[in-house]
Amino acid sequence: LLLHTLILRLTLCLFQCQQSTSFTIPTTTIQSSIRTSRTTLFSSENSSQEQNSNPKFRFLGKGKNAIVRPGVVLVAPIDEYQHYLMKSAIFIYAVGMNEFDEMVTRGVIIDHPTAFTMGEMSSGSIVGTLAHNLLFRGGESGNDSAMLLHSRGDIFPSPSAMIGTSGIYEGG
């Protein structure tokens, strides 16, 4: 339901985070799962049509031609008033089936930093450079977990794959 609302109300920013750009993703974010029971993603042609009982939808594509796919950033429109989505940029990092065989899209809000660092919130278990990174509030779910998004896929030996064509990697 949240993803359906998100897709209906967000203006899509087709900004691809390329390795050659100066765009940076926060090193750490809280994971946010946004669910939908639909396998095909749609968008409202007009946000005022949401009030209508029979709104018109347009197809947003699928596969590599989908507008909502891993590696893209969605930007909330000016009239978005949902607490977590208002004035937000959301990085989509995964699309696929969950443990309940529902199609889900997972994204993290990348522009809402907290006042805390990873070191402060980990009770001293995280040290070094990583401990000094700000912790970002990633959304309304996943409050007990954190994920690492970075642009250094070349130095981490883990099999973390690039998210879409963004130049951004998860884990490490």
Reduce the secondary structure of 6-75 to three states and give it as a string: HHHHCEEEEEECCCCCCCCCCCEECCCEEECCCCCCEEECCHHHHHCCCCCEEECCCHHHCCCCCCEEEE
Please provide the average confidence, as pLDDT, over all residues in the chain.
68
Does the pLDDT of residue 109 top 60, yes or no?
Answer: yes
Residue 159 — pLDDT band, cuts 50, 70, 90? low
Provide the pLDDT confidence category of residue 164 given band limits of 50, 70 and 90.
confident
Q: Is residue 131 pLDDT above 60, yes or no?
A: yes
pLDDT digits (tens, 9 = 90+) for 19-35: 223 333 333 332 333 33
CA 28 distance to own-chain centroid: 12
Local structure of residue 160 (DSSP, 8 states): P
More confident residue, 65 or 158: 65
